[in-house]
Structure 1
Amino acid sequence: MKKPILTLILALMAAFAHAQVQILPLWEGTPPLQTQMDLQEEVVYQDIIRIANVQAPTIEVYLPSKQLSTGQAVVIFPGGGYGILAYDKEGTDFAKWLNAQGIAGIVVKYRLPISKSLTDAKEVPLMDAQRAIRLVRQNAAAWNIAPDKVGVLGFSAGGHLASTLSTQYAHEVERPKDAVDALSARPDFSILAYPVISFRDAAVHAGSRKNLIGENPSQELLDRFSGELNVNAQTPPTFLVHAQDDKGVPIENSLLFYSALHKNGVKASLHIYPTGGHGFGFGLGKGSVETWRDTLLVWMHEL
């Protein structure tokens, strides 16, 4: 068990030493669907970094050295039930690890729908996700990224956001547009780790559903934000990983999405591990699930 942990530590150290890091705002000025209020972002440093009440969404960009770069980029959406962001455990830690593999990692600090400053909260996370993909493509040449090798990685509720982006990348909300909006928001591939997918009762993660679409949502909203109902042939290739003993987000979420992908002829890879629980992240010390990243890298290479 010690060898994989040491290898990970060395990889992260190497990535941190060579990575080029920058933070960019998603939007100029006040973001769309938001009013100016005297609200402060909340950052709590405990066992992990938890960010809440995001008012100024950003992307934090980690670039590998040019000699290591594969041209691939992964836009990362941390989880947290649409109430907080597990920003390092499911964000920056993975960006640094990706850098060690020659892959750009871009962490999205997206706005959370429980913020009182939002005028149409349910639309905001997807809007921020679309913007993040477009900004990566806009900067692809400068960042040594191939614009047709830009994927997404989402954990838990961040997986719900990544799956929503993968199925609703062309969704439009009336707002002022700029040159960035001319670029595609469709991910070239999608990686979903213990994702929230369905808002139907059999598999629902109640906290994520409540935070995104409220206590008593209409059937139309339930269907729109249940990812398995929105897959089509244009949904990008998808890698799913889940633990059978996940008590927070049932494995039925990944099973439903995989089934929909298969029915629509979308290439998909589903990996269910017997143990790991919810929120296993890297999976270190949790048995066979700690090898999931090796399997992921093989899948990404085959893309």
Structure 2
Amino acid sequence: MNNLVFTLIFALMATFAQAQVTTLPLWEGTPPLQNASDLKEEVVTQDIIRIANVQTPTIEVYLPSKQIATGQAVVIFPGGGYGILAYDKEGTDFAKWLNANGIAGIVVKYRLPISKSLTDPKEVPLMDAQRAIRLVRQNAAQWNIDPAKVGVLGFSAGGHLASTLSTQYKHEVERPKDAIDALSARPDFSILAYPVISFRDAAVHSGSRKNLIGENASQELMDRFSGELNVNPETPPTFLVHAQDDKGVPIENSLLYYTALHKNGVTASLHIYPTGGHGFGFGIGNGSVSTWRDVLLAWMGDL
């Protein structure tokens, strides 16, 4: 029955959303902080599509039909511990679902810090995330998007990237700039699903921390990439969802971030489900967590 429901959902998406799909590179030529090389992207398709060793970061843009478009857009960062991207389960599947609800979905194939072609790996995911937001705003009129309604959605390590963007959207490194860099990289809202937040020992997802900043990172680096320490009153409104029985990324990550948001007067909505584990995605057939997307849509409607 669950498979039948899932099939019907995507049939409805195809019928009503009539998504227009466009893929654009984030950067012209060799991306910043990357050496030209002959390294190849790796794509493995089994139960899900897993992408590794990204060399040409892109955005894959899914647009709803104009008849149902709300003007909102969500830039999506799939998870995978900064080692791979769960590209369909936490990316394109959600973009299609958003389209069925009149919302543009933009999936970011961002570079992963374990790639040997990168010159400063820890800076690259955030740089790609900033560029993705700016590209959406540059094309907002063409894509029927309100540039003041561009949010982010991140899963697991993608949630870490979304929270880092939400708190460090002004962070810059030395590199050539172009006209797109004049646009704001601040998300208008943030959706974090079972996110990695803290790189401190009590709540850390060690794989994400190791892949992004290394095994022997300084306390300064661990603090910089611990989202709960970088929240300020300008951090965008945030929706958090997590399962209490998550053994991969403890719920303390969402709790820490929510507490920091609350202390800084940032509008936030926290949803903890008793079961669901880690990486529940849509949550279909997984008990009460399967309703989290309905709660999210209501929250987005109130923004």
Aligned counterpart, 1:165: 165
Aligned position for 2:15: 14
Report 1:148-159 matches (<5 A).
148-159=148-159
Secondary structure of the equivalent of 1:266? coil
Q: Shift in Å at residue 7 of structure 1?
A: 5.2
Unaligned runs of 5+ in 2: none
Q: State the alpha-carbon separation in 1 of the partners of residues 270 and 150 from structure 2.
A: 20
The CA deviation string for residues 146-203 of structure 1, in whole angstroms up to 9 with x for no partner, is 0000000000000000000000000010000000000000000000000000000000
Give the CA deviation at 1:37: 1.0
- What secondary structure sits across from 1:188 in the alignment? coil
What is the DSSP-based 3-state SS (H/G/I as helix, E as strand, rest coil) of the residue aligned with 1:158?
helix
Taking the aligned partners of 1:196 and 1:13, their CA distance within structure 2 comes to 32
Distance in 2, matches of 1:162 and 1:42, equals 23
Structure-2-length-normalised TM-score: 0.98
- Aligned partners of 1:5, 1:114: CA distance in 2, in Å? 34
SS in 2 for 1:241: strand
The within-5 A match list for 1:102-251 is 102-251=102-251
Pairs aligned (count): 302
Distance 2:64 2:148 in 1: 18
Please tell me whether residue 63 in structure 1 is matched to residue 96 in structure 2: no
Cα deviation code 1:222-249 (max 9, x no counterpart)? 0000000000000000000000000000
**Equivalent position amino acid for 1:208 in 2:** S
Amino acid across the alignment from 1:252:
E
1:246-294 Cα offsets, whole Å, 9 max, x none, are 0000000000000000000000000000000000000011000000000
Letter of the 1:176 partner, please give it.
Answer: P
- Is the contact made by 1:11 and 1:97 (CA closer than 8 Å) also made in structure 2? no
Root-mean-square deviation (CA, aligned residues, Å) is: 1.1
2:88 alignment counterpart: 88
Q: Find the residue that maps to 1:247 and give its secondary structure.
A: coil
Partner of 1:52: 52
CA distance in 2, matches of 1:25, 1:126: 16
Structure 1 residue ranges (4+ consecutive) displaced by more than 2 angstroms after TM superposition:
1-15
2:9 is aligned with what amino acid? L
Q: Specify every segment of 5 or more residues in structure 1 that has no aligned partner in the other structure, as ranges.
A: none
Deviations 1:78-107 (A, max 9, x none): 000000000000000000000000000000
